[in-house]
């Protein structure tokens, strides 16, 4: 019993130390965001303080283009989510319900394309979207984000539709429903956790992308949040208050999605294992 208690304390201690390394940077980011600028670089640097202020938040929202950057990120992320959900759902359903030549090759190729770093697509996408006149546009960046998130989402939806019983759709067919109606009213509700996990993955990837947004969007009015935040780092100064305030605000949507929908995300990513 003593040995078991000791092992338990060791596990709790290791977990506590790990949580400190994970949580402390987030805490310091939030504390810095609400620290008045007059005290931001004045020692001693306090781990706890009560003289908090909204000065950095107010300046961020009124004196910078943060709201424009956030609007751009929301539009691009929403477009990427919609295209991912529609394309991945239809592709996953087709892979699980139909037989066609080279089906397994297509499935393996879909997952194989996800093994390469997204930056390898930067130059081809730059040339392609430049030729189509889609640089500095929402559509161009949405398509770029879809190109790197869709392969895994197709794999997730294919695996998920495989555990949706075909007998449910067959029962709908015998009742007079068309294949499309059976898909919408029977298969999609059963595969909803997978659809939601695909949407979360697409949103997180698009929301946090810097490389494609930096390469494809050269007009500051089209900057997304990751690229826009980099403008707070100047040659002669780094606006730490604005950086921390914006980082705290940017983190809220992602944390919210993962916190409230994490069980769907985990079930979608672990399906088929």
Q: What is the CATH number of the domain that holds 72?
A: 1.10.3720.10
- Beta-bridged to residue 128, according to DSSP, are none
Domain assignment present for 230: yes
Measure the CA–CA gap between 216 and 212, rounded to whole angstroms.
6
Q: How many CB atoms lie within 10 A of CB 37?
A: 15
Structure tokens of 114?
């996800």
Domain assignment present for 11: no
Domain that holds residue 198: 65-270
| pLDDT surpasses 60 at 99 | yes
Domain assignment present for 38: no
**Is residue 153 a contact partner of residue 268, using CB atoms and an 8 Å limit?**
no
**Over residues 221-230, mean pLDDT:** 90
Domain count, the chain: 1
pLDDT of residue 80: 94
Phi, psi of 132 (to 5 degrees): -90, 0
Domain assignment present for 46: no
- 125 three-state secondary structure: helix
Mean residue pLDDT across the chain: 83
**Over residues 41-48, mean pLDDT:** 75
Closest listed residue to residue 219, CA positions, set 235, 231, 207, 208: 231
- CA distances for 151 relative to 36, 67, 86, angstroms: 45, 31, 13
Confidence of residue 84 (pLDDT cuts 50, 70, 90): very high
Q: List, for residues 12-39, the tens digit of each pLDDT value.
A: 888 888 888 888 888 888 888 888 877 7
pLDDT of residue 41: 75
**Over residues 178-197, mean pLDDT:** 82
- 236 three-state secondary structure: coil
Domain assignment present for 58: no
DSSP 151-176: HHHHHHHHHHHHTS-HHHHHHHHHTT
Domain assignment present for 57: no
- CA distances for 58 relative to 97, 203, 227, 239, angstroms: 54, 27, 20, 14
Q: List, for residues 131-155, the tens digit of each pLDDT value.
A: 888 888 999 999 999 988 888 888 8
Closest listed residue to residue 264, CA positions, set 124, 156, 121: 156
Q: How many CB atoms lie within 10 A of CB 60?
A: 24
Q: Give the residue carrying structure tokens 């087709």.
A: 94
**Over residues 90-109, mean pLDDT:** 81
Distance of CA 26 to the CA centre of its chain: 18
Domain assignment present for 36: no
Measure the CA–CA gap between 269 and 273, rounded to whole angstroms.
9
CA quadruple 218, 224, 228, 230: dihedral positive or negative?
negative
Domain assignment present for 30: no
């Amino acid at each position: 019993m003593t040995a078991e208690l000791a092992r338990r304390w060791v596990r709790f201690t290791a977990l506590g130390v790990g949580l400190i390394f994970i949580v402390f940077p987030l805490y310091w980011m939030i504390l810095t965001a609400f620290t008045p600028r007059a005290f931001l670089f004045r020692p001693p640097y306090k781990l706890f303080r009560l003289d908090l202020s909204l000065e950095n938040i107010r300046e961020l929202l009124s004196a910078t283009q943060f709201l424009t950057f956030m609007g751009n990120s929301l539009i691009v992320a929403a477009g990427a989510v919609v295209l991912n959900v529609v394309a991945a759902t239809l592709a996953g359903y087709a892979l699980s319900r139909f037989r066609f030549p080279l089906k397994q090759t297509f499935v393996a190729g879909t997952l194989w394309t996800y093994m390469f770093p997204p930056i390898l697509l930067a130059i081809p996408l730059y040339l392609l979207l430049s030729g189509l006149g889609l640089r500095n546009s929402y559509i161009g960046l949405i398509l770029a984000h879809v190109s790197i998130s869709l392969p895994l989402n197709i794999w997730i939806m294919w695996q998920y539709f495989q555990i949706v019983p075909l007998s449910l759709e067959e029962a709908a067919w015998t009742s007079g429903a068309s294949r499309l109606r059976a898909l919408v009213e029977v298969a999609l509700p059963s595969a909803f956790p997978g659809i939601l996990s695909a949407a979360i993955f697409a949103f997180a990837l698009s929301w946090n992308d810097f490389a494609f947004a930096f390469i494809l969007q050269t007009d500051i009015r089209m900057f997304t949040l990751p690229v826009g935040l980099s403008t707070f780092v100047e040659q002669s100064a780094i606006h730490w208050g604005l950086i921390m305030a914006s980082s705290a605000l940017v983190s809220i949507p992602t944390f919210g999605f993962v916190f409230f929908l994490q069980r769907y995300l985990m079930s979608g990513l672990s399906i088929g294992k």
